[in-house]
Every structure is written in C-alpha cells, then in structure tokens.
Amino acid sequence: MKSAGLHLVRLLLVFIIGSTGLLMTRTASAQDGGATASDSDAIEADRHYGEAVRLFGEGRYREAIEEFNRAIELAEEPVFFCNRGIALIKLNEWNAALSDLKTCRTTFEGSPAEVAQIDAQYKGLRAFVRGVRPRAIEVARDIAAGDISPKVVEVPTPQSPWNVELAGHLSMGTGAVLLTTAVTLDYLSGDLRDDFVAESKGGTGTSPERYRQLRDELETRQNVFTALTISGAALAVTGASVLAYTWFFDDSPAESSSTAGSVSVAPTESGAALQLHLEF
C-alpha cells in the first residue's frame, strides 16, 4: 500500500531532519491492530487522537503527548504509539520514543513491505540512540576541546533484505550523525560566544589578543557547523528520496539475500569524518 509507505517515509523525515510535523494517518496504519475497544471508548479515543494531531501541528508537543496518552488508555492502536513516538522525538526523549516505535512495530498489522518499513525505522532509531548519537556527541566535544586524534568507533547498521532501502536508511542515518554533531558543537560553543561578547565590549581584564583568538576560534567552529549541517541535510534528503523511490517505482526486493554495514565517525581538522561500509 503506497500511501502507508509514504507516511513512513515522512515519519523518517521528521526523525532525521526535525522538519514540520507529519504524522501517520490512522487509515494508513494498522486499521485492525491493537486492543479492541468498546464503541464509546473508540469514539473517545478518536477525539483525543484528533486533538493530539491538532496540538502536534501547532508545535505543542508536550500537550499532544498528553492527548496521545489518553487515547492509548482507551484504545491501544499501533498508530497512536507511532505518532506519540514522533512527538517524543520532537522533545528529544529518545528512549521513550524508541519504546513506542517498538510497540508500533510489534502490534502493526499490514503487508510484509509495510511491516518491513516500520521494522527498519525502529532499528534505525535504535542504532541512532544507542550507538551513533552518543558517538556524535563525543566527536563534537572532541572538536570543541581541540582534540582531533583519529579515534574511530564503528556502529553496526540494521540488516535488511532490500539493498536499495538499506542505502536510503544509511544515508538518512549518516545525515543524522552530521546534524547531531553540528547541533552539539553549537551547544558546546555557548561559553565561547559569551567570552567573545565580553571581550568585544572591552574593559578591565580584556585584551586585543584574546579578542582575536576567540574570534578566530568562533569562525572555525562556525565553518565546521555550516559544513556539517549542509552535508547532514543533503544526506538526509538523499536517503528520503531513495526510500520514496523504492516505494513508488520498485515493488520487488533486491535479489541479494541480505545486506549489512557499519558507520564510523571521527573528528578531523576540518570537522568530522564519516565513513560508510556496506556488505552485500
């Protein structure tokens, strides 16, 4: 069912890029999955669900989660967990989001292709939360501290029977690595910016040499941040395009039985080095 595939591609876009919220529609999810509720409970769950979607669209993610919670208490439909997981991702509550996506994957009922997409998304988020994200934060800290020693840590990527789809997921995953590194580097540069502002005002304890030093350091970090952001966004969009292509134009799995791979990231003098390794 192509509409479900498109919604899942949108789910991934929300996760990686953090763009405007796009939720799975209920009709494109597991329509008969989850617990069976009474008619009155189902109607009330629908009301809370609709309110949650409205709040999400307005960017009121915490309130949306509360409404999703009320809907789930009445009817544990897979789409409720999937969409609550997206709202949790918006608030950077990664472990809770991972738990919801796992529930969604377990209870979703659909075609093998739809189930495979949800499974791939869950595995991708799991690899991001447990392996790639901590490593990306560590790399950003190394850059901020001026440590560019070539420490490389490989993070296994999910296995998939569809080579083209794996390439799409890896592109989006590596885009997430770069974007996370960029955002973390920017966050860790806050104190440096404060020092620069203080030096630029002059006064007791300031010096032209210190001002120039801070200015050069901030310019270097800004260049790194810009490069990481542009590269990360480009990879994320490329991955999303590949996945969209597989859903609209490629209905058959690849002939290879399976693929696997790893992604490694390490600090360099100009930013962060990212390496993909695929096994077919």
Q: In this model, does residue 153 exceed pLDDT 60?
A: no
Short-list 241, 118, 219, CA closest to 172: 241
> Whole-prediction pTM value?
0.48
Output the pLDDT for position 135.
Answer: 62
Residue 168 CA to residue 171 CA, distance in Å, equals 5
Q: Contact at 8 Å (CB) between 132 and 173?
A: yes
pLDDT tens readout for residues 53-111: 889 888 888 999 999 999 999 988 888 898 898 888 778 787 898 899 889 888 887 77
Span 214-240, average pLDDT: 71
CATH topology of domain 1-109: 1.25.40
Q: pLDDT exceeding 90 applies to what percent of the chain? A: 7
pLDDT of 254 higher than 70? no
Contacts of 152 (CB under 8 A, 6+ apart): 264, 265, 266, 275
Q: What is the pLDDT of residue 246?
A: 59
Rounded CA separation 28/21 (Å): 16
Each residue's pLDDT tens digit, 8-51: 333 333 443 333 334 555 543 334 444 444 678 888 999 999 99
Question: Of 109-113, 183-187, 210-214, where does mean pLDDT reach its minimum?
Answer: 183-187
Q: Which DSSP string do the residues of 3-45 spell out, in sequence order?
A: HHHHHHHHHHHHHHH--S--PPPGGGS-SS-S----HHHHHHH
Q: What is the pLDDT of residue 97?
A: 86
- Please give the DSSP secondary-structure letter assigned to residue 130: I
Domain ranges of the chain: 1-109, 128-280
pLDDT, tens only, 269-279: 555 555 544 44
pLDDT at 48: 93
